[in-house]
Amino acid sequence: MSASPTTHQKTGIAGEFFVAAELAKRNFQVAISLGNAKGVDLLVTTPNGKKTFEVEVKTLRKQPNCFTLHSSKIKQNCAYIFVYLNNENQAPDYFILLGTILLADLPHFYGSSLGTDRETVNHGPLKPFINNWEILQ
Tens digits of residue pLDDT in 17-66 = 999 999 999 999 999 987 666 678 999 999 999 999 999 999 999 888 99
How many structural domains is the chain composed of? 1
Closest CA to 19 of 97, 87, 83, 98: 83
Instruction: State the Cα torsion 60-73-109-64 to the nearest 10°.
Output: 10
Summarize the confidence of residues 116-137 as an average pLDDT. 97
Task: Report pLDDT for 131.
Answer: 98
Percentage of the chain beyond pLDDT 70 is: 93
Task: Report pLDDT for 36.
Answer: 61
- What's the distance, CA 134 to chain centroid? 15
Task: Report pLDDT for 78.
Answer: 97
Task: Report pLDDT for 64.
Answer: 84
User: Long-range pairs for 110-116 at CB < 8 Å and ≥24 separation?
Assistant: 110/71, 113/66, 114/71
If one compares 16 and 35, the residue with the highest pLDDT of the two is 16
CATH number at residue 28: 3.40.1350.10
Range of the domain at 105: 5-136
Task: Report pLDDT for 1.
Answer: 46
Report the chain's mean pLDDT, rounded to a whole number: 93
